[in-house]
Amino acid sequence: MDPKTVKRLEKKIEEAIVEVIFKMGLKSLPLLPDKQTMHLMSKAAVTVYETAVENGRHEDQSS
């Protein structure tokens, strides 16, 4: 994927993670992750998505 798209997707996913974590708060969660952890969570999510995209391309080529 295009690096600009990856960065933009990471940023949007990180914003969504922050929003959900803070809405749920300590009443629902045992720990509020720090900013670095939420950043890594967004990067992991994008990596999973990129892998799915690549796997989809390989399946299309083998059919």
C-alpha separations of 54 from 10, 38, 48, 50 in Å: 17, 25, 10, 6
pLDDT at 57: 85
Provide the residue-wise pLDDT of the chain in tens; the chain has 63 residues.
Answer: 899 999 999 999 999 999 999 999 989 999 999 999 999 999 999 999 999 999 988 877 776
Residue-range domain boundaries for the chain: 3-62
Enter the pTM of the model: 0.85
